[in-house]
Amino acid sequence: MLRGPRRLLWVSVRPAAALAAALLPSLVRCSILEPRDPVASVLSPYFGTKTRYEDVNPGLLSGPQAPWRDPELLEGACTPVQLVALIRHGTRYPTAKQIRKLRQLHALLQARGPGDDGVGSASSRDLGAALADWPLWYADWMDGQLVEKGRQDMRQLALRLASLFPSLFSPENYGRLQLITSSKHRCVDSGAAFLQGLWQHYHPGLPPPDVEDMECGPPKINDKLMRFFDHCEKFLAEVERNATALYHVEAFKTGPEMQNILQKVASTLKVPVNDLNAGLSQFLLQSSSSLVMQRPFFHCFLSWATSKTRNL
Ligand SMILES: *[C@@H]1O[C@H](CO)[C@@H](O)[C@H](O)[C@H]1NC(C)=O
């Protein structure tokens, strides 16, 4: 709980005479999504730090490597001297724990009694039945690993940043680039993919070598920094293990809004509300967003759950 920011990469490019200017113009803007991308929905832009880049900035669908920036930023008068980017890992599989809960939910849907409301009749639009029929293909080994789309996310991000800040990503500065990552495989792999994207920028057309052999070296692992929520004593004592600090989290999990959502989910899926125990229901609401980009099962179900949340 309360471990929101699982970011992983600390990228720093620092020319010699640099002070600091952290600029991430294109990554944090909201815009309404066109329904062109079949994986996206109108809800896709609303997953906070887990929103796909292309859902925040639909322009990326047609030009994923093209730089994009707010025209009001960096108008002539401003010279970028340093770029510090805190980057979330790319698209990944669900974790083993999430897969376990998905199977639980899937089994629950498959075990529903038929006939409650004419399942099988061509006209019934039964979401629960559709989800029960959907082949749940996640395997244990997938356990939160980066998928190919995730590597592509990182390569394209690197290329966009390099094109946006050509003076920072000049060949002379290449050796000054620093990447710091957490030890999570998806984060280490994201770092490697980012560097491979940069390689394309510096050496167009040449296949990238192993990151170990790159001039700037592989991303450095630093869990104390990147997974502070496991290491920072002050955070652990004052927040993570502090019931008072987490009061509102608990209140939300057990409060009337959550109960209301549970009721609605249970009634739409036609399962007893008690079967959607707290753990499972929270899972539905929390874990959706990073997976939403992956597969229709999540997308469909969790978009629905989220839309209900938003309508409260
Ligand atoms: C626990 O959290 C509360 C509320 O944020 C705070 O006032 C209190 O100092 C924290 N307790 C500890 C031991 O840090």
SS3 call for 68: coil
pLDDT digits (tens, 9 = 90+) for 225-280: 999 999 999 999 999 899 999 898 888 878 898 888 888 888 888 888 888 765 56
| pLDDT tens string 110-158 | 988 665 554 444 434 588 888 888 888 999 999 999 999 999 999 999 9
List 220's β-bridge partners, or say none: 180
CA–CA gap between residue 199 and residue 246 (Å, rounded)? 44
pTM above 0.85, yes or no: no
Tell me which of 242, 247, 250 to substitute to probe ligand 1's pocket, judged by most ligand atoms within 8 Å of the beta carbon.
242
Among 236, 244, 246, the mutation site with the greatest number of ligand 1 atoms within 8 A of its Cβ is 244
Q: Of 104 and 285, which is predicted with more confidence?
A: 104
| Active site annotation includes 89 | yes
Ligand 1 midpoint to CA 252 (Å): 19
Ligand 1 centroid–CA 283 distance in Å is 27
Which atom of ligand 1 is nearest to 247's Cα? 4
CA separation for the pair 176, 174 (Å, rounded): 5
Return the residue whose CA atom lies nearest to atom 4 of ligand 1.
245
pLDDT tens string 270-284? 888 888 765 565 555
The pocket around ligand 1, CB under 6 angstroms, is made up of 237-238, 242, 244-245
Residue 136: Cβ within 10 Å count: 17
